[in-house]
Amino acid sequence: MKRALNFNAGPAALPFEVLEKAKEEWLNYNGTGMSILELSHRSTEFESVLNNAKRLLAELLDIPDTHEVLFLQGGASLQFTMVPYNLITEEKKRGYYVLTGVWSEKAMDEAKKLGDPKTAASAKAMNYTLIPSIDDIQMGDDAAYLHITSNNTIYGTQWTSFPVTGSIPLVADMSSDILSRPVDISKFGVIYGGAQKNLGPSGVTVVIIKKDLIREDASHLPTMLNYHTYYKNNSLYNTPPSFAIYLLSLVLQWTKDKGGISGIEKINRQKADLLYKTIDESEGFYSGHAEKPFRSHMNVTFTLKNEEMTKKFLSFAKEEGFIGLNGHRSIGGCRASIYNAIPLAHCERLADFMLRFKSRN
Ligand SMILES: *Cc1c(COP(=O)(O)O)cnc(C)c1O
């Protein structure tokens, strides 16, 4: 069967083996005579799917006992609201944000609706081609948390090392690079991400939170916006996105079978290196958006010498079967999203196409 050359930014390609496994189990999950879609979320079968997903994620990311994994809905976008709701207190009343792209701006905009967040550092004036220096981050005594976006899906920049924030919780939107490389979870207060890039399908949001940030006394918060609700009920307070959690568990098992995070990271690096090399050796035919030290291993952004050539590239690419190479509607240009599930062979096909397009034009 022919698989599409899918470079979509999210929802994105899923591992073929995961889709096959889901198909196998589709009509009769684990001998129940029911599809996973039909199981009660209170059944022991589903609870073990959920617990298995938690366990695999903890194993793959080496999550310490100080942290808890929660499964929520509402996407990363709802976390833009839940983070300030849950972390801001009377005394620590301000969220600080490092602005590195559209998503961090959106996160801060939501915090503005609840309080008065401040910019801790920003790369906006540089058209988000880089990540601000860690030394330039500024926070006051009122800091409830520092918020960063570990990988900027739209601009194609990525943090390579993280700020050390001491007692101030570090909060990271890792939607587009969670599970793509090793991260020291103990350094973070909250990590969150919609699953539809590296973890599985849309519909489930993963939150990894330091337990001491889950407040038992936050009953003034709306129930569904309170981390404690999910913590207390093993993410089963109400009906969870059961099918999405099931697929997530399959993607996690697949990741483990691929050699875990270190195995995946190695392949990710090869994929990214190949595409960036193609850009760099094109003598300016292609130019990368991100400055070299900040290049994302997940979203490779580039333009051609003018709008017309970019359009031509995208239309030829489409004809050859490449999907999703257009840049985000907010910045244009081209973007190849190469999350964990994208095989190296697809990147080789793309690099080959880029070379051929260049020599013909
Ligand atoms: C895709 C993305 C989002 C938005 O996620 P939703 O799940 O659609 O809300 C937020 N942040 C980053 C970094 C993303 O890549």
Q: Tell me what pLDDT residue 176 has.
A: 98
- Is 121 in the same domain as 229? yes
Q: Tell me what pLDDT residue 2 has.
A: 81
Q: Tell me what pLDDT residue 131 has.
A: 98
The pLDDT confidence band at residue 330, using thresholds 50, 70 and 90, is: confident
Tell me the average pLDDT of the chain: 97
Of 222, 257, 292, the position where a domain reaches its end is 257
Q: pLDDT, tens digit, for every residue of 158-167?
A: 999 999 999 9
Neighbours of 22 (CB within 10 A): 17
Ligand 1, closest atom to CA 176? 15
Mean pLDDT of 89-112: 97
Mean pLDDT of 313-331: 92
DSSP for 141-166 reads TTEEEEEEESEETTTTEE-SS----T
Report how many domains make up the chain: 2
- Is 245 in the same domain as 307? no
- Is 162 in the same domain as 307? no
Whether 282 maps to a domain, the answer reads yes
- Is 125 in the same domain as 34? yes
Pocket flag, ligand 1, residue 173 (CB < 6 Å): yes
Q: Tell me what pLDDT residue 332 has.
A: 81
The pLDDT confidence band at residue 298, using thresholds 50, 70 and 90, is: very high
- Is 242 in the same domain as 299? no
Place of tokens 């949001």: 205
- Is 269 in the same domain as 218? no
Domain at 198, CATH number: 3.40.640.10
Of 193, 222, 257, the position where a domain reaches its end is 257
Q: Give the residue ranges of the annotated binding site for L-glutamate.
A: 42
Pocket flag, ligand 1, residue 158 (CB < 6 Å): no
Q: pLDDT, tens digit, for every residue of 201-257?
A: 999 999 999 999 999 888 899 999 999 999 999 999 999 999 999 999 999 999 999
Angle at 309 between CA 306 and CA 310, to 5 degrees: 85
pTM over 0.85: yes
Mean pLDDT of 2-12: 94
The answer to whether 157 touches 101, Cβ cutoff 8 Å, is yes
- Is 90 in the same domain as 157? yes
Task: Answer whether residue 294 shows pLDDT above 80.
Answer: yes
Cα of first residue to Cα of last residue in the chain, in angstroms, is: 32
CA distances from 356 to 198, 273, 305, 322, 346 (A): 30, 18, 16, 14, 15
Of 192, 227, 257, the position where a domain reaches its end is 257
159: annotated active-site residue: no
Angle at 111 between CA 107 and CA 112, to 5 degrees: 115
Task: Answer whether residue 329 shows pLDDT above 80.
Answer: no
Whether 7 maps to a domain, the answer reads no
Q: Out of 54, 177, 197, 254, which one is annotated catalytic? A: 197
Task: Answer whether residue 15 shows pLDDT above 80.
Answer: yes
Place of tokens 């090399």: 277
Amino acid at 50: L
Question: What percentage of the chain exceeds 90 in pLDDT?
Answer: 97
- Closest to 53 in 3D by CA, of 196, 245, 260, 258: 245
Ligand 1, closest atom to CA 153? 15
Domain at 338, CATH number: 3.90.1150.10
Ligand 1, closest atom to CA 74? 9
Provide the domain limits for residue 96: 16-257
Whether 336 maps to a domain, the answer reads yes
Whether 113 maps to a domain, the answer reads yes
Mean pLDDT of 310-333: 92
Q: Tell me what pLDDT residue 350 has.
A: 98
In angstroms, what is the span from residue 83 Cα to ligand 1's centroid?
14
- Is 118 in the same domain as 52? yes
Whether 350 maps to a domain, the answer reads yes
Mean pLDDT of 71-83: 98
Q: Give the residue ranges of the annotated binding site.
A: 42, 76-77, 103, 153, 173, 196, 238-239
Pocket flag, ligand 1, residue 77 (CB < 6 Å): yes
- Is 218 in the same domain as 352? no
Q: Tell me what pLDDT residue 313 has.
A: 97
258: annotated active-site residue: no
- Closest to 162 in 3D by CA, of 200, 208, 192, 131: 131
Pocket flag, ligand 1, residue 234 (CB < 6 Å): no
Mean pLDDT of 27-56: 97
Q: pLDDT, tens digit, for every residue of 116-145?
A: 999 999 999 999 999 999 999 999 999 999
- Is 174 in the same domain as 307? no
Whether 4 maps to a domain, the answer reads no
- Is 303 in the same domain as 238? no
Whether 344 maps to a domain, the answer reads yes
103: annotated active-site residue: yes
Q: Tell me what pLDDT residue 328 has.
A: 85
CA 199 to chain CA centroid, nearest Å: 8
* C-alpha span between 270 and 358 (Å, rounded): 22
Q: Tell me what pLDDT residue 94 has.
A: 97
Whether 272 maps to a domain, the answer reads yes
Q: Give the residue ranges of the annotated binding site for pyridoxal 5'-phosphate.
A: 76-77, 103, 153, 173, 196, 238-239
Angle at 265 between CA 261 and CA 269, to 5 degrees: 175
- Is 348 in the same domain as 232? no
Task: Answer whether residue 331 shows pLDDT above 90.
Answer: no
Place of tokens 């609840």: 114
